[in-house]
A and B are shown apart, each in its own frame.
Chain A
Amino acid sequence: MITRRNSTLIASVVIAGGFLGGCVAGPKPPIYYYGSYPRTLYKLKKDPSPASSAKHQASLEEVIKVSKDKNLRVPPGIHCEYGYLLWQKGQRSDAETQFNLEMQTYPESVVFVTLVLKTLKHEPST
């Protein structure tokens, strides 16, 4: 069922546009939902501030939530990036939850997420 809210989401994904390459025979649903993630990341890099950081955090949360609602895998790295942000804010327990979700969703990320945790805890990496 396409509600107005869904159609706005769909429209904004299509307009966000550049990520959706290679549609072959007819429109297939994209494997990931990114929402405003590229936009808020760009704004965060262009004008770093508590405000742009908060907006980017909201984007990450939205990507995770909508992916769940649509039964899509959360895109690669999103849980990890969100966890990293939470750790920087002192929310270590929530951060570790996100890091675990990244490793569960993408087993190939285990070595990297382990390294990230070691780096955050200032442990030697060897």
Chain B
Amino acid sequence: MTTKLAKFPLMYEERPVSILVLPPINTTTAADAKDYYATTIAGPLAFRGFYVLPIEVTSDVLKSQGIYDTETIIHQPVAKFKQFFGADAVLYTEITKWSTAYAVIAANLTVGFHATLKSTATERVLWEYSGTVVVDLTGRSNSGNPLADLIAGAVATSIATAAADYVPYATQTNVQILQTIPVGKYHEDYLKDQSVTFVDQTPAAGIGKGAGK
């Protein structure tokens, strides 16, 4: 276990107010994960007290400047995001898991993100954390007839998997990850949450560190 101050002292030093969320980097095979990510991060980040630049609008402005994805700019300096966007920090997210694992009679939905907040003033990493949510989608049946239950369960599972709505679980993952961030100026615990504890993660392959993936 560690505390917010021990793990993320730079947040209390730099006190970023405004955050620009870049399009996520998708390392999964789910083609649509990137598009839906934006709908699940803005609210949780705003509730943590930060000014979050509107993501859809930001994405359009970036495109008009020739920036279509984060992969191409990830190793570039972030100072221009302060100059042109007024952002104190940039949030990079890697989608590490966005999948349903399906085995006829059982299914899980898994969402995983790794998030990194980088200062536009100093280029330092201010905060970094990752999280995964696994949801059991297995359909269940209880008719008393084991074979009928198995079949009904399988049908229910396949329906649940096909209709799996990632949005609430992706949102939940973001809320979870953001529990560890020192809160921003609009939060009532601003500059008062230094001793909040959480599990210390060793950021293994963080953004830009797992080069060649």
Given A31-B187, A76-B51, A109-B18, verify A42-B167 contact (CB < 8 Å): yes
- Residues of B near A20 (CB, < 8 A) are 47, 175
Given A108-B18, A109-B53, verify A19-B84 contact (CB < 8 Å): no
Q: Which of B39, B47, B54, B85 interacts with A77 by CB under 8 Å?
A: B54
Q: Which of B46, B55, B85, B168 interacts with A18 by CB under 8 Å?
A: B168
Q: How large is the interface on A (under 10, 10 to 19, 20 to 34, 35 or more residues)?
A: 35 or more
With the chains together, A45 CA to B31 CA distance in Å? 13
Are the C-beta atoms of A115 and B84 separated by less than 8 Å?
yes
The residue of chain B having its C-beta at the shortest distance from the C-beta of A114 within the complex is B86
**Per-position 1/0 for A31-74, Cβ under 8 A of B:** 11010011101100110000000000000000000000000010
Q: Is B13 an interface residue (CB 8 A)?
A: no
- Residues of B near A125 (CB, < 8 A) are 65, 84
Are the C-beta atoms of B44 and A19 separated by less than 8 Å?
yes
Are the C-beta atoms of B54 and A31 separated by less than 8 Å?
no
Are the C-beta atoms of B52 and A80 separated by less than 8 Å?
no
Q: Which of A17, A41, A75, A115 interacts with B46 by CB under 8 Å?
A: A75
The residue of chain B having its C-beta at the shortest distance from the C-beta of A18 within the complex is B171
Given A18-B175, A42-B167, A45-B35, verify A109-B51 contact (CB < 8 Å): yes
With the chains together, A78 CA to B52 CA distance in Å? 10
Interface window among B22-30, B56-64, B92-100: B56-64
Closest chain A CB from B78 CB (angstroms): 15
Are the C-beta atoms of A81 and B168 separated by less than 8 Å?
no
Interface residues of B in 14-53 (CB under 8 A from A): 17-18, 32, 35-36, 38-40, 42-44, 46-53
Q: Is B172 an interface residue (CB 8 A)?
A: yes
With the chains together, A45 CA to B42 CA distance in Å? 15
Q: Is B186 an interface residue (CB 8 A)?
A: yes
Given contacts A19-B44, A46-B32, 20 further A-B contacts (CB under 8 A): A17-B168, A21-B179, A22-B47, A30-B47, A31-B186, A38-B39, A42-B36, A42-B39, A75-B43, A76-B46, A76-B54, A77-B53, A80-B57, A81-B54, A84-B54, A84-B56, A108-B51, A111-B85, A116-B61, A119-B61
24 pairs of residues in contact across A and B, judged by CB atoms under 8 Å: A17-B168, A17-B171, A18-B44, A18-B174, A18-B175, A19-B171, A21-B179, A22-B48, A22-B179, A37-B43, A41-B39, A41-B56, A42-B39, A73-B186, A76-B52, A77-B53, A84-B56, A84-B57, A106-B18, A106-B51, A109-B53, A110-B86, A111-B85, A116-B61
Which 5 residue pairs spanning A and B have beta carbons closest together? A111-B86, A77-B54, A18-B171, A21-B175, A19-B43
